[in-house]
Amino acid sequence: MSALFSPLTLRSVTLRNRIVVSPMCQYSAERGEATGWHMIHLGHLALSGAGLLCIEATAVEPDGRITAGDLGLWDDATEAALKPVLAAIRRHSHVPVAMQLSHAGRKASSHVPWAGGQLVPVSEGGWLPHAPSALPHKAGEEPPLSLDNAGLNRIREAFAASARRAARLGIDALEVHAAHGYLLHQFLSPVANQRTDEYGGSRENRFRFPLEIFDIVRAAFPADKPVGVRVSATDWVEGGIMLDDTIAFAHELKKRGCDWIDVSSGGVSPLQKIPLEPGYQVPFAQAVKKATGLTTIAVGLITDAQHANGLVEAGDADLVAMARAMLYDPRWPWHAAAQLGASVEAPPQYWRSQPRDQKALFGETTLGQR
């Protein structure tokens, strides 16, 4: 069996293979509510053969949305809108479904990417974001509001409430989003956090609020279901987070029962300089895994099956997450399994699609025809 297609168990959840469909923002919700787009988008990815499907960054409160089209889980309406989507997935696929809980912080109130992605001012229908400090993400933008104690308490309860709603929906796992320049990453990074209270300054203080949120989510979600965290290993900018900061943060997460760490990078500053190449973030995942022993997810321009399999086989990471490559080729796991001599789960309606030289691709199948 290839390493990429070996199973992995996280608490009560067993993944059939090590391929993860990354959470990918679709900016297609209405008032935070899932729409027909989510039924189509998540439905076809649920048939991809991946070991885990993660729902996009899901805002825990309206002000925590990146754009007005972000998916949310903050009230009965947003919870109810996800029920038919999940019911369809459960009916036609056995893939475990995770959800990424998020708050955009100072990157909230933005245009969708295909409209430029810039801050939408209040005068043009946007809202004033909240952040650790009153520092804009980009020079020239209106600064966000610095969170006071009441604001911190509101966000704590919002994460807890969303985790409870996710549990009611039957979500199998949660990922706390502490990467890509959003609120929890903003607390972690000196680039965005210049507070002078117990949540700013020293590394220990900057870790405090993200760790509190992890503890809150962990306590609000069923104990037999896993909770992981996505991090940005480095800010790729002077004065920002470095790999040793991330390793220290991962050690703290491990103490608290974190089930995996999803190692990405960047996002907190438009001044970042990122050297893009296939697997460019893998060394970060490798270093975190070696230092902490945490179950680790590698991400970042991993598109080749042999490359992905080699990462798991070598122990550089335990799982490989894919985003854009999965949008381009939603059957990537099928093709990877064919290449590596493995098999994937597929619905019987599709069994006849397997190539003649790949009769074991879908395992034991019956292909009778009157």
Around Cβ 163, how many Cβ atoms within 10 Å? 25
Residues 218/256, Cβ–Cβ less than 8 Å: yes
Q: How many CB atoms lie within 10 A of CB 131?
A: 26
pLDDT at 368: 53
Give residue 363's pLDDT.
77
The pLDDT assigned to 47 comes to 97
pLDDT computed for residue 250 by the predictor: 98
Pick out the chain residues at pLDDT < 50.
Answer: none
Q: What is the pLDDT of residue 360?
A: 78
Task: Please list the active-site residues.
Answer: 182
What is the sign, positive or negative, of the torsion defined by CA atoms of 266, 271, 276, 282?
A: negative
pLDDT given for residue 297 in this prediction: 98
β-pair partners for 15: 8
Burial class (CB within 10 angstroms; exposed 0-12, middle 13-18, buried 19+) of 104: buried
State residue 327's pLDDT score.
96
**Which pLDDT belongs to residue 39?**
98
Helix (H) / strand (E) containing 310:
helix 305-314
Q: Please state the pTM of the whole predicted model.
A: 0.95
* Multiple choice CATH, 3-353, 2.70.150.10, 3.40.50.970, 3.60.20.40, 3.20.20.70: 3.20.20.70
φ/ψ of residue 262, rounded to 5: -100, 110
